[in-house]
Structure 1
Amino acid sequence: MAKLFYRVFALILVLSLMLPTAAMAQGDDIVNFTILHTNDFHGNLELSGSNPGAARVAYVIKQIRAAKAALGQSVLLLDAGDIMQGSLLSNIQKGLPTIDYYKTIGYDGVTLGNHEFDWGQTVLQQRYNQAHNDDGDPTTKEFPFIAANIVLKGTASDCASAGWDLPTFVTEPYHVYEIPTATTTPLRVGVIGVSTTETPYITVAEATAGLCFKDPYESILHYYDALDAAADVIVVLSHNGYNDGGYGYGFTVYGDQTLAQKLNTAGKPVNLIIGGHSHTDLTSATMVGNTMVVQAYYAGRRVGQVDFTVNRTTGAISMAWTRNVVSTTGNEDPDIKALVDGYVNDTDYQALIKEPIFQTNVEIIRNYNGDSLMGKMVNDAIYNELNNDVETANDVDMVFNNPGGLRADITSTDCPSFPCTVTYGKMFSIMPFGNQTVVGTMTGAQIVELLNQSATLFKGALQVAGIRYKFFRYYGGTPAATWAWGAYDIQVWDKATSTWVPIDLNKTYRVATNEFLAPVGQDGFIPFKYFKVESYWGDMLNLVNNWMRNHYNPDVNPSNSPYAETLDGRITREGDDTFDTDPIIPLTILHHNDSHGRLLKTTYQGYTQLATII
């Protein structure tokens, strides 16, 4: 933390004799200012459920600003990442309306979350350019993208040896803001940004190609001395989560509390860490030594407020945190409401989201860890669209999708009566990522290994078409962290005979999936590394929409009937997570050591289980 020099005692004594006590207390020696903060806004510009919408968030921000301005105090507005991705209005234009809102309400700076990379670096560069564009509008303000640990890999053999060159969509590793004071010497607030090192593992591989996400602690240390010399107060904008943990990809991911402790232990303390990523709804600030750690929930539901008092004579800094709840029934700021309404009421946008795709007579619901009608609908549509067009080069034996790629259900809220028309807007909310459909090959043994990985439920059960499987997953006992899992009774639909046949370990199958999964195996579905890419066949959402429109929309073809499918048991789970001292576990587990699988032998209270570990 930057240190304010103590004045020489004799000078203080002279000044104390010359100036009244009141003047000493209220003069330039004491500086008060406020930092407002948000995180994980996820493009929630409109009121939706418990998300209050941008106009209500803006009203709270402006009220606090006005109150502080009346006291002659400055306010900084910062955000800890995951700004744009998450709502239909923002996603369709790839974050443009959200950046417009951030400029209009006057953010002073943001760091980058992992979801900033969902649409790739080209789009992120466009949003950077938008945020930094002086459009001549006095009602908007440019703001920097601050990130110290996102660097170019360059020619380095690995990220550990990469340098510190920043990509063009990062403004700077840190920014120093000047807070006006009663004299010509401003108070300097240094803000440094760090993003989660798991970003390359939870986004499409191409989106982070050529980038390194360095260790946040090491990155802060790299810049600390220069920042300390330039600032009186140091703030970290962190998109790493409140607690330790991460998503379990096999390397250390520490949260903001640990980051604060590591910096304190190293003798490089910061005053404040403003967090994001974990959507933590704190009721009070956490103090780690003299470092305050805060976070403001997500989707604009909270506006965090840190009120600083800095004694420039002694160097003492005090902070008080307020959790401002943004009500879904609260007042709306008229300027931001007009801005959002302009995007909502745009005729092209309305025409697009209201375009009818198909009709349904049933709710279509997800199941992250098993069989689901949503997974069936999406994967069957892709399977049928690829196998029934005029192009034979994209014919496939099976389709896989990760459950995390399906983001919404079609429920009675969407369909108060049946038959119900499902629009493009609804379909986009189900599949918002714009992933390309990739077709390639895998052997039967590799597919078995993939389904064994799916059986861990690390990132849910793979949703499928053209293949069906059963799986078990047991957890518990002694030690509590011991697992047993596996896939079995795996069958593939034989199009020639219209029958289900056991998977052949030695056969090469043609597989379709999304570019997030193959060929790099994101979301922990590592066996997709065996996937041999043959070709790409366009946005997966478009494939689904084409099939559903042409086969379940009576307005397109009067012979069509609304969608009325039911579950068919293509994914069957044996048991649950409950530990049983005398379970019956199917041990017909296929494994293949040539695929780099290895067998785990685990003994529980007198019986043995086998499972393949990836």
Structure 2
Amino acid sequence: MRTLPLLVSLAVACSSPPKKDPAPRQPPQKRAGSVTLSIIGTNDLHGALERLPILAGYLVNLRAARAADGGGVVLLDGGDMFQGTLESNLSEGADVVRAYNEMGYTATAVGNHEFDFGPEGPATTPQSIEDDARGALLSRAREAKFPMLVANISDKTSGARIKWPNMPPSVLVEVAGIKVGIIGASTESTPFTTMPANFVGLVMAPPTAVAIAAESTKLRAEGAAIVIVTAHIGSKCADFEKPTDTSSCEKHEELNKLINDLPKGSVDAIVAGHTHAGIAHRINDIAVIESFSSGRAFGRIDIRIAADGRVTAVSIDKPRAVCAGETATNPVMVADCKPGDYEGKPVVPEPGVQKIVDEALARAKVRRDEKLGVTLTGKVEKSYGSESAEGNWFTDLMLAAHPGAHVALTNGGGLRADMPAGDLTYGRLYEAMPFDNRFALVDVKGSHLRSLVSTNLQRGGGILSWGGLTAKGRCKGGKLDLEVWVGGKPLDEARAYKLVTSDFLASGGDGLLGRLKLPAGAIKITDVIIRDSIADILRKKKGQVDPAKLFSPTSRRLDFEGQRPISCAAKSPTKPTDQEPPE
């Protein structure tokens, strides 16, 4: 649900660290023979527990293969582990930690959505001075048998890196006799891609590359033969046939900037995350993997270390689908999952992890399976970067919940899953809208609405979905000519309108409403969870819903030519923004 430009600490976060040679390495320790370390990377689980027993089965086979040849396995996660499914959210991620403990994770990164739950308990943000905005996260860290690493978040007042239990900047572990340094980092957009109230008092600092370089120098001095970064920072590649061919990879994402800023030789491998995309490439001589999201796949890097301590070979596997044949457009139900063989043996779900997952699913089953009385005649699709049936439907339902409002607004990152045809259950609704966002009512002028629409059309990132508002934009005379209607009538720039949206957006998320500089008292945040209010409306409404009536490519609520971001200057190709959210 959260995607936006970084607006605070810009001078610190965007400064490019000077390139310099890393500190001299300690002489490597000699061993009797070569050793292979297999690095397995996962990322952006978002509470999708169901495939974890199968993934654990892959790990059983791989660990047996490495034990047979004297090597070892390093298991890492790139963050955003907890938030996203009913079964995980009910325990605020505790069952994910239990499963990861059972699977033997070596370390994880801290994603922006790790901050989403706020204090322990039902409140998603602090309600009193006694509430700890990071209470749920700190509890998960205390329960974890693995460190949750973060090198680039600091206390805003003191400037010192946070010192929370089991959340160090880096860790040195020994695997098959090899000293391995692991560093964690979070996306610099974290302050505005979680509930802003839960990040108060913190700052993204030092700059990520500076933080990683400093930790790498320390780890090398302590004898690390290889240094791995696990980071909730990502990019995107389309072709995985040749790891050395990066022509299909994005070049301007946060991960690319980080890699360019790192001192040469400071990092051997990166397990990435955040963009819900795939990477299996060698970038600036660093092996990099990212494996989509929701437990659908994992990445693998094998590093061969000679008896004298030198790295002699690095291989990078394509992202491996946990269920054979599964893709983003061809999902496979876990009940139908056929993982096949791995490392020469059939993959069998691991019983210990299965027990944890079964218990979590059982606790959520009654609510998940509740039918809301609405039948979808076709799939209701989401989209991050373009208008969608799901975005239109949800904003219409937000208006139905607040009939006194003129306009409803939500963001593309808040739409998390398609809803399949058939009887709509609470569980399906929850997957599409997993965040416990509350309604917010905002008093705005017509000029504010125009600014929101115009800015979103001329910028990339997530689309804004609108209810009660339509717009038509065309380039004229080198500028965007924008017509806007509210309730079927032309927008009145001076008129007061009532906007219904989420507390996330109203409190500064995505940096949207903050730019409007609204007067004090313009925003009223309620205690009503948007998703649950929508469920109540659907229970009363019942009947059928036809997705074709929610969105038509020939009759859009936002009518514009080409792709966002719209540029009315000299024509140049624009990059589509309809991809997985950089959460």
Fold in common (TM above 0.5): yes
Partner of 2:443: 441
Taking the aligned partners of 1:568 and 1:509, their CA distance within structure 2 comes to 25
Matched residues, number: 493
Taking the aligned partners of 1:573 and 1:258, their CA distance within structure 2 comes to 33
CA 84–125 in structure 1, closer or farther in 2 if over 3 Å, else same: same
Partner of 1:129: 139
Taking the aligned partners of 1:578 and 1:380, their CA distance within structure 2 comes to 24
Taking the aligned partners of 2:276 and 2:525, their CA distance within structure 1 comes to 38
Taking the aligned partners of 1:153 and 1:202, their CA distance within structure 2 comes to 18
CA 440–297 in structure 1, closer or farther in 2 if over 3 Å, else same: closer
Q: Are 2:185 and 2:230, in contact at CA under 8 Å, matched by a contact in 1?
A: yes
CA 236–411 in structure 1, closer or farther in 2 if over 3 Å, else same: closer
Q: Are 1:521 and 1:527, in contact at CA under 8 Å, matched by a contact in 2?
A: no
Partner of 1:273: 270
Is 1:576 matched up with 2:561? yes
Taking the aligned partners of 2:496 and 2:379, their CA distance within structure 1 comes to 33
Q: Are 1:175 and 1:190, in contact at CA under 8 Å, matched by a contact in 2?
A: yes
Taking the aligned partners of 2:156 and 2:496, their CA distance within structure 1 comes to 36
Partner of 2:107: 109
* Deviation, structure 1 residue 121: 6.3
* Deviation, structure 1 residue 62: 1.0
Taking the aligned partners of 1:400 and 1:210, their CA distance within structure 2 comes to 28
CA 57–508 in structure 1, closer or farther in 2 if over 3 Å, else same: same
Taking the aligned partners of 1:374 and 1:280, their CA distance within structure 2 comes to 22
Taking the aligned partners of 2:312 and 2:135, their CA distance within structure 1 comes to 38
Which 5+ residue runs of structure 1 have no aligned equivalent? 8-23, 47-52, 134-140, 156-162, 182-186, 245-251, 388-394, 416-420, 476-481, 494-499, 554-560, 580-584, 586-599, 606-614
Taking the aligned partners of 2:512 and 2:378, their CA distance within structure 1 comes to 30
**1:327-362 deviation line (CA, Å, top 9, x unaligned):** 341233231223322222x2x421111223232364
* Deviation, structure 1 residue 513: 0.7
Partner of 1:38: 42
Is 1:171 matched up with 2:167? yes
TM score, norm. by length of structure 2: 0.74
* Deviation, structure 1 residue 221: 3.1
Taking the aligned partners of 2:561 and 2:274, their CA distance within structure 1 comes to 29
Query: What code does the residue aligned with 2:449 have?
Result: I
CA 603–194 in structure 1, closer or farther in 2 if over 3 Å, else same: closer
Is 1:150 matched up with 2:153? yes
Partner of 2:531: 541
Taking the aligned partners of 1:453 and 1:211, their CA distance within structure 2 comes to 28
Q: Are 2:141 and 2:166, in contact at CA under 8 Å, matched by a contact in 1?
A: no
**Secondary structure of 2:447's match?**
helix
Partner of 2:354: 337
Taking the aligned partners of 2:489 and 2:139, their CA distance within structure 1 comes to 54
**1:87-144 deviation line (CA, Å, top 9, x unaligned):** 44334443222222111111011011223233336586435434533xxxxxxx7111
**Secondary structure of 1:60's match?**
helix
**Secondary structure of 1:200's match?**
helix
**Secondary structure of 1:264's match?**
coil
CA 538–297 in structure 1, closer or farther in 2 if over 3 Å, else same: closer
Of 78-87 and 436-445, more deviation after overlay is shown by 78-87
**1:431-466 deviation line (CA, Å, top 9, x unaligned):** 11111111121112112211222333634543333x
Taking the aligned partners of 2:375 and 2:28, their CA distance within structure 1 comes to 73
Give the root-mean-square deviation of aligned CA atoms: 3.6
Taking the aligned partners of 1:301 and 1:371, their CA distance within structure 2 comes to 26
Partner of 1:294: 289
2:234 equivalent among 222, 231, 241? 241
> Identity rate of aligned residues, in percent?
24
1:356 equivalent among 361, 366, 371? 371
**1:193-238 deviation line (CA, Å, top 9, x unaligned):** 1111112232332232222123210112343432222232222222
Q: Are 2:442 and 2:524, in contact at CA under 8 Å, matched by a contact in 1?
A: yes
Taking the aligned partners of 1:303 and 1:489, their CA distance within structure 2 comes to 45
TM score, norm. by length of structure 1: 0.71
Q: Are 1:438 and 1:515, in contact at CA under 8 Å, matched by a contact in 2?
A: yes
Partner of 1:206: 197
Query: What code does the residue aligned with 1:278 have?
Result: T
Q: Are 1:128 and 1:145, in contact at CA under 8 Å, matched by a contact in 2?
A: no
1:518 equivalent among 488, 492, 506? 506
Q: Are 1:34 and 1:308, in contact at CA under 8 Å, matched by a contact in 2?
A: yes
Where relative contact order (Cα < 8 A, 6+ residues apart) is larger, the structure is 2
**Secondary structure of 2:506's match?**
coil
CA 154–501 in structure 1, closer or farther in 2 if over 3 Å, else same: same
**Secondary structure of 1:228's match?**
helix
Query: What code does the residue aligned with 2:231 have?
Result: S
* Deviation, structure 1 residue 427: 1.6
Partner of 1:89: 87
**Secondary structure of 1:530's match?**
coil
Partner of 2:68: 70
* Deviation, structure 1 residue 402: 1.9
* Deviation, structure 1 residue 483: 8.1
Is 1:429 matched up with 2:420? no
Partner of 1:191: 182
**1:380-430 deviation line (CA, Å, top 9, x unaligned):** 33323334xxxxxxx433222223323334332xx1xxxxx4221122122
Taking the aligned partners of 1:274 and 1:192, their CA distance within structure 2 comes to 10
Query: What code does the residue aligned with 1:577 have?
Result: G
Taking the aligned partners of 1:567 and 1:254, their CA distance within structure 2 comes to 33
Q: Which has the larger radius of gyration?
A: 1
CA 304–406 in structure 1, closer or farther in 2 if over 3 Å, else same: closer
1:3 equivalent among 15, 22, 25? 25
Partner of 1:223: 215
